[in-house]
Each structure stands twice: as C-alpha cells, then as structure tokens.
A and B are shown apart, each in its own frame.
Chain A
Amino acid sequence: MKSRGLFARLALVLGLVFLYVPILSMMVFSFNNSRLVTVWDAAHSPTLKWYAALLSNGQILGAAWLSIRIALISASGAVVLGTLAGMALARFGAFRGRLLLAGMTAAPIVMPEVITGLSLLLLFVATEQLIGWPKGVGAVTITLAHITFCMAYVTVVVQSRLAGFDESLEEAAMDLGARPLQVFLRITLPLILPAIGSGWLLAFTLSWDDLVITQFVAGPGSSTLPMVIFSKVRFGVTPDVNALATIMVLIVATGIAIATVWMRYQQRRRERDLQLAAAANLSEPLQS
C-alpha cells in the first residue's frame, strides 16, 4: 500500500515538472541577450530588450488587438448560445431535436480542427456564391467560426452545472406564479452565473488561442496573433516570442490567482452566513 502511494506521488511530482519546465525555460530565455535563444549570454543578461522589441512591433500589437476583439465578441456570442443549449439539454426533458442538439454540441469538442476549419470555409464560399455574403473572408467569418466551436464548451459547462441542481427551486417559483422569464432571471441565472462566467473565460481563451480553424477562415489583412506567432516560429525560435509567452503566462497566472482568492472569499462568506443563520435559528424559540 505504502510503496504504491509513493510511486504515484513521485509520478505526480515528475509529471508536474514535465508540465512546467518548458514554460519556465521559455520565460528564462526571454531575458537572454543572445539571439541564439538557447545559449545563455551571461555577460549581457538578463535584459529586457526583447520586451522592448515586442512592444515596438506593430504587426504583433495589431494582431493582438484583433485577437482580443474577436475573442471578446466570440466569447459573448458563445455564452448566449451555449447557455440556451445547456438549458434546453438540462431542463427540457425529451423534446424533438434533443438528440440532434446533444450531438452537435458534443462533436465540435473532439472534432479535429482541420476538418472544422475546412468545412466552415467551404460553407462561406458556398453562401457567397448563393447569396453574395460574406464578401470574402476576414474578421467576421473568424468570429462566426469561433462562436460555433466555443459554444460547444459553454454548453457542457452550463449543462453540467444545471444538472447539479434539482429543479425544485424553479418549480416552486413557477407554482408561486412566476412567469418563465422571471424564473430564469431571478432563479436560474443566479444559480448558473459561475458556470456562465467560467464558460465565458474558457471561450475567450479558446478563441484567443485558436490557430488551425482561424487559418482556414481568415483572409488577407485579418491575421490574428496565433497566425503571426505561427509564421514566426515555423522556421525556428525567436526571442521576442519568448517575451510574448512570458507576458501571456503572467497574465493568466495573475487572473487565476485573483479568481482563486475571490472564490475562497466567497466560500468563506457563505460558510459564515450559514453559521450565522444556524446560530440565529438556535437562539430563536422553537415555533411548533
């Protein structure tokens, strides 16, 4: 018993080292003076010159700005559609089209991206022929594609959150005469808000990060950040990409740290409220 526990724990430590060493090495070499990237130039390092180069690189900054705008719109669209789909799947029981909806929201998650990308581009080409829209591919088609594959993830997150609650609260509100929209806004929405929040973040990250699908549905002049990075690193390592990676890792780490602290705080407040409520109950005389 003991020895196997030890083996698993060792595997866990080594596995975490495996997960973090590449990221850390990228961060370390972003401060390296040498253009050779992986040869540490001790005499002139650490340096911030790659960060300076990055911040004066108009192509990268422009692509980052485009990626941010696309990710903001895609995540918001995906959250609306994914919440609707998650509600339908978790709450409507058996309805016509349920199997179709379940299949179409689960498939994009595992579908190889080259296939999704190819099929979406062929769709846009076909609609352009048929109805003259869209006029060529670009930011709009990228956004439509991102909404489509991101909403699948939001659906799963919202659906599993809803599946964790029973419907009694919603039914009680209905029995008390609340209209469906009221029930949704006053009961369901607050309950699934954490899921919607994490779904939005997940969708934002996926959209911000996507390369393969984007490559298919992007046109000239609509290069997103991953596309610019890919064309730079395809033929080797470049130090300013290390700097970019470091900045992105730090942003994500900060965001996750803030989210964790916030959730801890919320949980502690809830626990305190529960304790207070219990104490209040005890101090009040029994009513029956």
Chain B
Amino acid sequence: MARLTQAAGRRLVAGVPILWLLLLFLIPFIIVFRISFSEVRLAIPPYTPLISWRHGAPSLELYGSAYSFLFTDPLYISSYLYSLKVAAVSTLCCLCIGYPMAYAIARSGAASRPVLLMLVVLPFWTSFLLRVYAWIGLLKNTGVINNALMYLGVIHHPVALLQTDFAVYIGIVYSYLPFMILPLYANLEKHDMALLEAAADLGARPLRAFLRITLPQSFAGILAGSLLVFIPAVGEYIIPTLLGRTDQLMIGRVLSDEFFENRDWPVASAVAILILLLLVMPIMLFQRLERRQLEAVK
C-alpha cells in the first residue's frame, strides 16, 4: 500500500512539470512547424487550415510556399548568414575577453574569489534592456565616447559607432560576458595546480605549459561558455534593434517583422523552423554538457 502511494506520488511529482512543458513548450513547436506549411490568407487566424473539407471528405493541405519564398529571396539568406557571422564573431570576442578574466578569478585568493564572481554576475541581475540602452548613450555621435575623443583631440569629427556591426558586437559581448565567464571559471577552478608545477619543474615555459596543459583541460568550459553565448546570439532581437545597422537585419528581427509588420504567420514560422534547424546541433551539445556536469557534481 505504502509502495503504491509512493509510486503514485512520484508519478505526480514528475508528471506535473512534464505535462506543463508538453502543453506550453513542445506542442507550441509542433504548431509552429505545422503553420510553416500553410499559406497566408486574409482571415482570423491568417493562415490556411491543415485539413480542409472538400466534397465531404477531409483533405490534407500542405504548402511549401513559405520555405520556397525564404530560399529564393536574397534578403532572408543574407540575414541568415549575417546572424551566423555576428554570433560567431561575438562568441570569439567573448571567449578572448572572458577566458583571461575567468583565469584570473580562478587563480586569485580564496577570499577575493566570491567578491570577484559577484562583480561579474551583478550586472546580470540588472535589466538586460537597460544595459543595452546604456550603450546608445556611449556610442552615438554626440555620445560619451565621441565627446571624449574630440575633447582629447584624437578626432575632429564624430565617428559613426552606433548602427554599425561594431556596436552589435559590443552589445552582445557586453550582455553575454557573464555567461562565458561562469562555465570557464567553474572549469578552471578545478584544475590541479600540481600539473603546472610539474611542467615548470620539467622546464616548460609558462606559455607552453598553458597551451599544453591548461588550455586542453579547459575545453569543456570553453565549449559550454561558447554555446551559451552563440545560441541566443543567433536569434538576438533587442541588441541589433537598438544598436545595429538598419540596412542589414538579423534573423530574429526578420522573424518578428514578418509576424508583426507583414502579418505573414507562415513565413515567420518557417523562419523559426530554419533557425531551429541551425541550432539543433548546438542545443543538443549543450544539453549533453549540462547533463555531464550535473552527473559530475554527484
């Protein structure tokens, strides 16, 4: 009897979140997938139904027009590639800035480590939107950076910084840097310093010891941090909208515009499916890393 209630209790504990996520996470994706194969029409909702009744018999209506539209219009292909480029460059910059920072925190004294970590995480607790907005004030033509450079006499006319690729990179690196540093720190902190000492005793120069020992050992951290930056950066909406170019949109903005401005739900859904296809591999990789990390804690 007790066993039975325990089994029932367990089923309840696992069942409630599973049911919730099925209804509000998995089924919505199936709906997106299904609408991506419809055609837009003037109605509520503005797409053709999947099954229509023709002469009293149900018939399946599948259209590939949303996809063929995306693959033939150079605008979509270029924004797709542009998003990949922006995400890749930003991830690389994040890594180059975040790695030394994580390294320095991991090698600092036990007392200062929590303080330094808190300093890295603290901005994350303040509004993402407002932190991106702060860069408008710094980067614009009459902004703080241009004013400072002109005051110092480095430049005589303001340099266009806002609405450039550079501004988007800055925005992404700035917003996602903690996501790069934390997994790197978690990894670097666990390294056995004895290995480095042994390498030094055997005559390895510091740089060589770093390249041959520390860097390969921190590979899992590098991968986790890069995925945490790259995946959301591909679909980033706020940063390119506030800081980015107006002549070249990123794919997340294209999706949003198709939906809100053009009211073309099938094309918006098809864009979502194509972003997902691109990210399926990285997301699964991330999940595997996450699982291994949790099992390692055990």
Contact = CB atoms under 8 A, between A and B. Distances in A.
A15 B101 contact: yes
Contacts of B136: 233, 236-237
A191 interface: no
Contacts of B27: 123
Contacts of B231: 110-112
A3 B24 contact: no
Interface string A1-36: 101110111011001101111110110010000001
A102 B107 contact: no
Contact of B228 (A5, A36, A110): A110
A160 B290 CA distance: 10
A249 B287 contact: no
Interface in B216-255: 227-228, 231-232, 234-238, 241-242, 252, 255
A220 interface: no
A54 interface: no
Nearest to B127: A209
Interface stretch (B52-60, B63-71, B74-82, B267-275): B267-275
A111 B283 contact: yes
A8 B107 contact: yes
B166 interface: no
Interface residues of A, number: 96
Interface of B: 2, 5-6, 9-10, 13-14, 16-18, 20-22, 24-29, 31-32, 35, 45, 97-98, 100-101, 103-105, 107-108, 116, 118-120, 122-123, 125-131, 133-138, 140, 142-144, 147, 174, 177, 200, 206-207, 210, 227-228, 231-232, 234-238, 241-242, 252, 255-256, 259, 265, 268-269, 272, 275-276, 279, 282-283, 286-287, 290-291, 294-295, 297-298
A84 interface: yes
Nearest to B268: A118
A98 B17 CA distance: 11
8 contacts: A12-B104, A12-B105, A85-B14, A85-B18, A87-B13, A115-B275, A229-B130, A241-B130
Nearest to A233: B133
Given A23-B131, A105-B21, A95 B10 contact: yes
A1 to B, nearest CB: 5
Given A123-B24, A148-B20, A12 B232 contact: no
A229 B45 contact: no
A245 B137 CA distance: 13
Interface in A173-222: 179-181, 205, 208-209, 211-212, 215-216
Contacts of A118: 32, 255, 259, 268-269, 272
Given A114-B256, A211-B238, 7 more contacts: A15-B100, A15-B101, A98-B14, A113-B232, A163-B298, A233-B136, A241-B130
Nearest to B125: A252
A104 B279 CA distance: 15
Contacts of A205: 125
A90 B17 CA distance: 14
B292 to A, nearest CB: 12
A58 interface: no
Contact of A241 (B17, B133, B143, B272): B133
A87 B97 CA distance: 36
A60 to B, nearest CB: 13
